[in-house]
Every structure is written in C-alpha cells, then in structure tokens.
Amino acid sequence: MNYIDNILSGLKVSSPAQQEFYQAVEEVLRSLAPVLETNKHYQQHSIIQRIVEPERQIIFRIPWVDDGGVVQVNKGYRIEFNSALGPYKGGLRFHPSVNASVVKFLGFEQIFKNALTGLPIGAAKGGANFDPKGKSDREIMAFCQSFMTELYRHVGPNTDVPAGDIGVGAREIGYLFGQYKRLTGRYEGVLTGKGLLWGGSLVRKEATGYGTVYFADCMLNDRGENLQGQTCLVSGAGNVAIYAMEKLYQLGATPIGCCDSTGTLYHENGLDLTLIKTLKEQKRESLANYLNTHTSATFTPVDDYPEGRHALWQYTADAAFPCATQNEINKNDAQGLVANGCKLVSEGANMASTQDAVECFIDSGIAYGPGKAANAGGVATSQLEMAQNASMQRWSFEKVDNQLQGISKSIYQQASDTAKDFGEPNNLVLGANIAAFKRVADAMIEQGVV
Ligand code: NDP
C-alpha cells in the first residue's frame, strides 16, 4: 500500500537512524492496511502521521558522582508518545543500549499495549544509557536522584506516571520516588512499582510475568490444551522471567531453561526457582553460580555462542517465553523452535522476535502471542496501583490477581476476535494491532486536531 510506504520513508528522513523504531512502526502499519483501506476517515484525519510522531520528547543530561569522586554523565529520555486515552504511562529502562531509537520503539509499542488493556492510560517510555551493573547502592541512588532532578518537571499522577523496565526495579523506583517527594513536597502516585510499605500494589512485581503466562494459557485453552505438564524455556532471569517461571510452576508446567546477560542455564529436571531468586534478586550474581548447587545443570557463557547471543532457543521444549529483551529471537531461532516441536511462544519482552521470526511463527500455525498483547498485564496492574493510590485504598492480592487474569483474558479475546473478523484467525499480531489502533484513533478524532 503506497500510503504506508510513503509514511515509512518519510519517517526515515524526519527521524534518521532509528532502526528499532522503524521496525516497530512497520510491523504495526503493515497490519493496519485492511483497516486503512476500508476506513478512509483515518487518512483524512492524518491519524497515522500523528500516531508515529511523539507528542513530546524530553532528552536531558544526567551528571552524577561515582564512588571514586569522578563526575559521570549519562543521557536521559522521556518520550511522551500519546495521551489520547489518559495520562502518559510506561516504564523507564536503565541499560547501556538505551538511545532515542530504543525508547521510541518502546513508547510506540506502549500506545497499542495500553489501549488493549481497556484502561484510561496514554503511552510513554523513558530511560538512560546508564549501566546499573557493578554499581554500588550509593552510586545507583546518586544516579536516580540526578535523573529525577530533571524528570520531576514533566511527570505527575495526572500527567505522566513512569514504572520500571530493564535495570529499573524496586530499588531504583524507591530512590526516584524519594527524590520526587523531596523536590515537590508531594506524596503522590507519580511512579508505579513502588514498595509495598509506601503505596505499591500487591501483584505489581509479579504482574508482567504472571500476565504473560495467563495469556499463554488463553491461547492454549482455545486450542483445547493447557500448560499442565508442558516444558518451557523462559529467557531472562529478571523481573518478568522470574515471575513467569513462578506462574508456570503454579500451573503445572516445568521451566527447564533460562538465561541472563552472562549466559544460558539448562536444567532438564526443572529449574530451581528459589535458587534463581536468591542469585538474581538478592545477590545480583551471574546464573553461572547456579552450578555451585546443581552440578547436573549446564551453563553456556554468551562468549561461547555466535555474536554474543544467548543459547536458549537451541533447546527442545513445548513452549517458549522470551522475557529478556528485543529481537532476541531471530529467524533461525524461530525455525529451530518450530522444528523442535515448540507449539507456543508468548512474549514477556517487548518486540522479542524479529519480523521474519514472527512470520515463521504465524506461518507455522503455532500459537504466537506478541509482546504488546501478551505482556500488557504489567502496565494494567500499574494502572490498578494508580487507582489504589488515587482512592487511598489497598486491595488484597486475590483482588488484584483476579483483575489481572480478567484483563489478560479480555486482551486475548479482543486480539483473537479481531483476527477472526479479518480472516486471519491465527494472526494475533494483526488482531492486537487493529483492535488497539481503533480505540486510540477514534479517541484522537473525537479530541480534534491536537
Ligand atoms: P530486568 O532488568 O529485571 O531483567 C532482564 C533480564 O534479561 C536480566 O536477567 C538480564 O540479564 C537479561 N538480559 C537482558 N539482555 C539480555 C541479552 N541480550 N541476553 C540474555 N539475557 C539478557 O528487566 P525486566 O524483566 O523488567 O524486563 C524484561 C523485558 O520485559 C524487557 O523487554 C521489558 O521491556 C519487558 N517488559 C517489562 C515489564 C515490567 O513490568 N518490568 C512490562 C512489560 C514488558 P542480567 O541479569 O545479567 O542483567
């Protein structure tokens, strides 16, 4: 479709050298073709041109002092992408790979993910090219305080409510919140993922991982199956991966492999999740140390694998849950998984699979849940945290978990029903993108040219 090609080539001129962003935009726009062809008013209102351009991009300097007394400087971002459905909402990522392209792809995906939840939340994403690895607690605090010293001007409970992402967990959210409170004098729900003692919601820590597994269960149930007895590969060993593994065990499945940035862990008997939590959540150590306790497991360092990638997808399992980072499944990985009999992929990570890997999954007929639908439980539970903060209430674990399950089911149903309506029942990418787009686009039209 010429219309889409023109927008994509225009984007490459107006936003040069943003590969990850182009990839995310192209995937969405191609799947919208049937809607754009039959609903010309979206073109008349230039919805696509508006939706691919963030409403606001804040880029800032973050100076801080390391333990050696040396001043360090990092680059910070907050991309406020779309507020048609509510206050901006989306995580912060602290990782050396963070740049404008990565933050924009994440912010763009967030528009559609947040729309699918059915909740009143707009979309943003942010972060910094800061590497928390090997830093002392004092250095992390100094960095977070400097980051918030700029960010506080742009966020607020009714404006923009950041959360965590890679490299930003409970510790970082705590330091960020403390500095916001100090600068503004206000104790309010400006961040989600807060500690349970001071405004956090039960289930928020578990929500993205649990939600990704609930979504997987919905996909299997529709095929007359469930997760009981299934072997699973779960990439990553961070917040999303750990709680995906926890829910898999609870539903009778067995995670047999995971990974971190140092390498891949495989344990045929089933991973010892208590040990993984100790290594990763408490000690912040490499998964390689798992072998000190379980000698029958194997660990493949990333250095031993081509292009420094992790080796997880070479193993045979019934289901795969990529929960580490973007583009971690390429075409070869996807073909290997399918050839080895993998029948389900549910993405905890954002844009976990390259475009040709996604095509491989859809063409092969296996169940494939794209990140923006499968991992939306995290942001949905963040909104439940906002609702509790605004009403000064604290809900029980069961209440939040029930709502998370309900939202995961509803997202699956919307994506699946829309995919069927457009004659491609196995294409949840198309289903999720179209269902989400219509909600945002219609709201944008009703709100006029803003
Ligand atoms: P964390 O930082 O808690 O964990 C990331 C994990 O992935 C770490 O174990 C890290 O290794 C590992 N990892 C990162 N890059 C690689 C790589 N190239 N190869 C192998 N392992 C890698 O982040 P989250 O769990 O929060 O986020 C993971 C994914 O989920 C991201 O794509 C994020 O955008 C997405 N997501 C997160 C949400 C949330 O609520 N947190 C919500 C929705 C999506 P190491 O331990 O060595 O650092």
Question: pLDDT per residue over 118-130, tens digit each?
Answer: 999 999 999 999 9
Q: What span, in angstroms and rounded, lies between the C-alpha atoms of 437 and 423?
A: 18
Give me the domains of the chain, ranges plus CATH numbers: 3-189 (3.40.50.10860), 205-369 (3.40.50.720)
Residue 118, SS3?
A: coil
DSSP string computed for 181-240: HHHH------SSS--GGGTPPTTHHHHHHHHHHHHHHHHHHHTT--STT-EEEE--SSHH
Phi-psi bin for 7: left (phi > 0), alpha (psi -120 to 50), beta?
alpha
Q: Is 260 in the pocket of ligand 1 (CB under 6 A)?
A: yes
pLDDT at residue 367 in the model: 98
Residue 353 bridge partners (DSSP):
329
Q: How far apart are CA 45 and CA 446, in angstroms?
A: 11
* 125 included as an active-site residue: yes
Sign of CA dihedral 378, 359, 310, 317: positive
Query: For position 308, what pLDDT does the model report?
Result: 87
Tell me the CA–centroid distance for residue 93 and ligand 1, in Å.
Answer: 9
Instruction: Return the residue whose CA atom lies nearest to atom 16 of ligand 1.
Output: 261
Task: Summarize pLDDT for 202-222 with one digit per residue, the tens.
Answer: 999 999 999 999 999 999 999
CA distance 166 to 157: 22
| Mutation to probe ligand 1, out of 94, 116, 165 (largest number of atoms < 8 A from CB) | 165
Ligand 1 probe mutation, 117, 166, 384, most atoms within 8 A of CB? 166
Q: In ligand 1, which atom is closest to the CA atom of 204?
A: 40
Residues β-bridged to residue 65: 71
Q: What is the per-residue pLDDT across 263-277, written as a single tens digit (0 to 9) for each?
A: 999 999 999 999 999
Q: Which of 217, 137, 208 is nearest to 166 (CA)?
A: 208
CB within 8 A of 61, min separation 6: which ones? 73, 74, 75, 76, 150
Angle at 141 between CA 140 and CA 144, to 5 degrees: 85
Res. 1: pLDDT tops 80? no
pLDDT category of residue 307 using cuts at 50, 70 and 90:
confident
Report yes or no on whether pTM surpasses 0.95.
Answer: yes
Cα–ligand 1 centroid distance for 290 (angstroms): 19
| Mean per-residue pLDDT of the chain | 97
**Does the beta carbon of 236 sit less than 6 angstroms from any atom of ligand 1?**
yes
Could you tell me which residues come within 8 angstroms of residue 331 by beta carbon, excluding any fewer than 6 positions away? 354, 356, 357, 360
From the CA of 262, give the closest atom in ligand 1. 47
Closest-lying ligand 1 atom to the alpha carbon of residue 95: 2
Res 187 pLDDT > 90: yes
Atom of ligand 1 nearest to the CA of 113: 43
Any atom of ligand 1 within 6 Å of the Cβ of 237: yes
Residue 306 DSSP code: G
Coil/strand/helix, residue 162? strand
**Rounded-to-integer distance, Cα 340 and Cα 3, Å:** 40
